[in-house]
A and B are shown apart, each in its own frame.
Chain A
Amino acid sequence: MKSTQYSEKTLEHFRNPRNVGILEGDDVAIGRVGNPVCGDLMEMYVRVKDDRIDDIKFQTFGCGSAIATSSMITELVMGKTLDEALEVTRADVADALDGLPPVKMHCSNLAADALHDAIKNWRSGTKLEPLSAEAVAAAGKGCGTGVTAEATTIQGTEEYAGKGVYTEVDDTSVLADKRVLVLDKGAASAKLAMTLTEVTPRVIFLTELQALALPDEIATEIKRSDVKVLYQSRLLAVRGEGEVEKVLIRDLDEEDEYELFVDAVVLLEP
């Protein structure tokens, strides 16, 4: 079965999703699951009155089935008590859509999980905020306390010194058209990242923090610039064949590691 071989009902919900949007107020709980890295992020907003779901809305970044399952679950639980809503399973969502392609079954899981997360947050009194720009970029679910940066050694920075690892950049033209990773070392590194966008289309600013700890005007400026900011990310290692070709990054929120192809790493001396 092809991954896009959806039932008519799934396609109909994809085309005309019900209950799209957000809800606000003291009687609203928010649930959030998924990770844009995997290609989906779902948010459920539930307004609770007398232990019943009085209103429900969602926003979803994802494929056709992610959008359709979000829409379907809002229809299934509207007006139900919270206990009844918790009994709605992923299978119920898939069945209500006349089935999903096997490879897409995890999407129905996400919709049920997002709803359950919202109900859990309501009951525990946990108040999630709608995603801020930082949180959108941080792309995570945990919106708790900030992560404190630990001093760690980065493998390979000495080995690749002069071969793509820079501790200072006097002449930005040496980085022309390179994929440059700039490590967050404060305002000077943020300014350098923005300057580099004049010579190359690909500049990534890597910070271990959840929100930039920079002077306001610089933080605003870098978010508006062409610099791609990666939050809650730790540089673990620099790799390559004789010169910098990849870095290993740890996603501190998802506790996940991945390789990113780059040509240069800038680690300004403090």
Chain B
Amino acid sequence: MTSSNADRIFAEGEVYLDYQSARPVDPRVVEAMQPYFTERFGNPASLHSVGDRATDTLEASRADVAAFLGATPEEVIFTSGATESNNVALLGYAKRNKRKGDHVVITEVEHISVLNLGKYLEQEGFRVTRVPPDQFGRINPDKLRARITDDTILVSVGWASNEIGTIQPIAAIAEMLNGSDIALHVDAVAAEGQVPLDMSAVPVHLLSISSNDIYGPQGVGALYIRKGTRLAAVTMGGGQERGLRSGTENLPGIVGMAAAARIAAAELPAEAPRLAALRDRLIREVLSTVPDSHLNGHPVERLPNNAHFRFEGIEGESLLLSLRDEGIAVSTGSACSSKTLEPSHTLISCGLLHEEAHGSLELTVGRFSRDSDVDRLMQVLPGVVDRLRRLSPLYRKH
């Protein structure tokens, strides 16, 4: 199933090692969505039978996504993606609970959407504290605890870094906050489908997920809201999704997300170790064949699909362009590949110097990755690094 789909999705010779940026929709998901564009269309707000059918579909989909999270259906709302989920959660909670306090704690290794929400909350009069990680990108719960004050109302920590793949001790942080009046929001996008997310076991209040990161369509996401957690609306409209996300529901997209969640839940136990084996091969072979290469992120507590490196003496965008010429798609934390010409904030907060962050390479595998993808990368990478180092005045020490 996996290998034949990979042949359908990727052209001959094309190697995709950037699942973190975007994932192809699983063909089984596409099939499930198909009828909902035409014969099973409908608006859940309509009072006729077409509308009733749409309501039934919406609620069945909600139950599937809730089951994927170990939640009840009433605790899940659909959004347009994880960025919107983060907005609804952080802005909605801060607005609703402002009377209780004006302090929010996030971390230095959050996704850009949470970092920018932190800046926005500061403009709105909140105080926002950012917890630094250790050298592996991990947040120490004690360091987080030390930043909590009587005015703290909300803590937001990503389940795992979308960039370097480090998994955070979410259960420990949730336990630490449990029983207090402080809500915990978790952006789980990088982790979903790779590590179990069980809201019945971990006392998280708000959790953001996206559809595409479990091989569903782009433009759909969900927010888990633990029973009793109160939010104010941040978008105004017809009052859909408990008034928290107005706008007619994207029914085909939601059906796709539900199908993706069912598949992800069923396949995770076998898929996570398969991906971890590919990741471990990448780490082993890159570190042993490319001189002066280093692993970024945590050696053990890392996502099954993420291998993140830095290479001394070369710059990441040059590396990306060279691999692109060989048909290999990757990402880098280099400043030269970003709009702002700033290097990755995650790598800098792990303690890397700017010039070290410039030479980074992010490889992420996924459902359609195979050993032959790793073979192809390893045929090319050592030569590409060597060529760029021979061009570089910074790599003369050997």
B366: A residues at CB distance < 8 A = none
B394: A residues at CB distance < 8 A = 36, 41, 61, 131, 136, 139
Contact at A136–B339, with CB atoms within 8 Å?
A: no
Contact at A41–B132, with CB atoms within 8 Å?
A: no
A262: B residues at CB distance < 8 A = 351
**Taking CB as reference atom, which chain A residue is nearest B295?**
A201
Chain A, range 165-224, C-beta contacts under 8 Å to B: 177-179, 200-202, 223
Contact at A59–B392, with CB atoms within 8 Å?
A: yes
Q: Assign chain A's interface to a size class.
A: 35 or more
Contact at A61–B314, with CB atoms within 8 Å?
A: yes
The residue from A6, A60, A103, A178 contacting B392, defined by CB atoms under 8 A apart:
A60
B343: A residues at CB distance < 8 A = 39
Measured CA separation A240–B135 after assembly (Å):
15
- One of B20-28, B50-58, B80-88, B353-361 at the interface: B353-361
A177: B residues at CB distance < 8 A = 134-135
* B155 → A minimal CB distance (Å): 15
Interface string of B266-310 (1 = CB under 8 A from A): 000000000000000000000000000000000000000000000
- One of B34-42, B70-78, B317-325 at the interface: B317-325
* B229 → A minimal CB distance (Å): 28
A241: B residues at CB distance < 8 A = 129, 143, 146-147
**Taking CB as reference atom, which chain B residue is nearest A60?**
B391
Measured CA separation A14–B317 after assembly (Å):
11
Contact at B318–A64, with CB atoms within 8 Å?
A: yes
Q: CB of B348 within 8 A of chain A?
A: yes
Measured CA separation A67–B393 after assembly (Å):
12
Contact at A245–B132, with CB atoms within 8 Å?
A: yes
Measured CA separation A237–B147 after assembly (Å):
21
- One of B162-170, B174-182, B329-337 at the interface: B329-337
The residue from A136, A179, A263 contacting B397, defined by CB atoms under 8 A apart:
A136
Measured CA separation A75–B338 after assembly (Å):
29
A242: B residues at CB distance < 8 A = 146
Whether A260 contacts B353 in the complex (CB less than 8 A), given A11-B321, A39-B315, A61-B315, comes out as yes
Q: CB of A40 within 8 A of chain B?
A: yes
Measured CA separation A201–B313 after assembly (Å):
19
Whether A258 contacts B354 in the complex (CB less than 8 A), given A11-B321, A36-B394, A133-B397, comes out as yes
Measured CA separation A246–B350 after assembly (Å):
11
Q: CB of A80 within 8 A of chain B?
A: no
Contact at B396–A62, with CB atoms within 8 Å?
A: no
Interface centre among B129, B318, B393, B394 (most CB of A within 10 A): B393
Q: CB of A76 within 8 A of chain B?
A: no
* B110 → A minimal CB distance (Å): 15
The residue from B143, B337, B395 contacting A63, defined by CB atoms under 8 A apart:
B337
Whether A4 contacts B135 in the complex (CB less than 8 A), given A14-B321, A61-B314, A64-B318, comes out as no
Q: CB of B349 within 8 A of chain A?
A: yes
Q: CB of A3 within 8 A of chain B?
A: yes
Whether A39 contacts B354 in the complex (CB less than 8 A), given A3-B339, A62-B315, comes out as yes
Contact at B396–A136, with CB atoms within 8 Å?
A: yes
Q: CB of B390 within 8 A of chain A?
A: yes
B339: A residues at CB distance < 8 A = 3, 103
* A96 → B minimal CB distance (Å): 19
Classify the secondary structure of B's interface with A. loop
B396: A residues at CB distance < 8 A = 131, 133, 136
Q: CB of A38 within 8 A of chain B?
A: yes
* B289 → A minimal CB distance (Å): 19
Whether A263 contacts B134 in the complex (CB less than 8 A), given A60-B393, A64-B321, comes out as yes
Chain A, range 42-69, C-beta contacts under 8 Å to B: 42-43, 59-67
Contact at A39–B336, with CB atoms within 8 Å?
A: yes
Contact at B355–A39, with CB atoms within 8 Å?
A: yes
The residue from A59, A200, A201 contacting B393, defined by CB atoms under 8 A apart:
A59
Measured CA separation A146–B348 after assembly (Å):
29
* B359 → A minimal CB distance (Å): 9
A60: B residues at CB distance < 8 A = 391-393
Contact at A63–B132, with CB atoms within 8 Å?
A: no
Q: CB of A123 within 8 A of chain B?
A: no
A260: B residues at CB distance < 8 A = 351, 353
Contact at A14–B397, with CB atoms within 8 Å?
A: no
* B148 → A minimal CB distance (Å): 11
**Taking CB as reference atom, which chain A residue is nearest B314?**
A61
Contact at A4–B391, with CB atoms within 8 Å?
A: no
Q: CB of A20 within 8 A of chain B?
A: yes
Contact at A179–B135, with CB atoms within 8 Å?
A: yes
Q: CB of A79 within 8 A of chain B?
A: no
Q: CB of B201 within 8 A of chain A?
A: no
Whether A43 contacts B135 in the complex (CB less than 8 A), given A37-B353, A63-B315, A261-B349, comes out as no
* A204 → B minimal CB distance (Å): 8
Interface string of A11-52 (1 = CB under 8 A from B): 100110100100000000000000011111111000000000
The residue from A14, A38, A63, A137 contacting B354, defined by CB atoms under 8 A apart:
A38
Contact at A4–B317, with CB atoms within 8 Å?
A: yes
Contact at B336–A261, with CB atoms within 8 Å?
A: no
Q: CB of B47 within 8 A of chain A?
A: no
A228: B residues at CB distance < 8 A = 353
B320: A residues at CB distance < 8 A = 4
Whether A4 contacts B393 in the complex (CB less than 8 A), given A139-B355, A241-B146, comes out as no
Contact at A261–B350, with CB atoms within 8 Å?
A: yes
Q: Give the top 8 A-B pairs by smallest Cβ distance, nearest first.
A: A63-B336, A63-B317, A36-B355, A59-B393, A61-B392, A261-B351, A179-B351, A61-B394
A-B contact pairs, 8 of them (CB 8 A): A36-B355, A63-B317, A104-B336, A131-B394, A133-B397, A136-B393, A136-B397, A179-B135
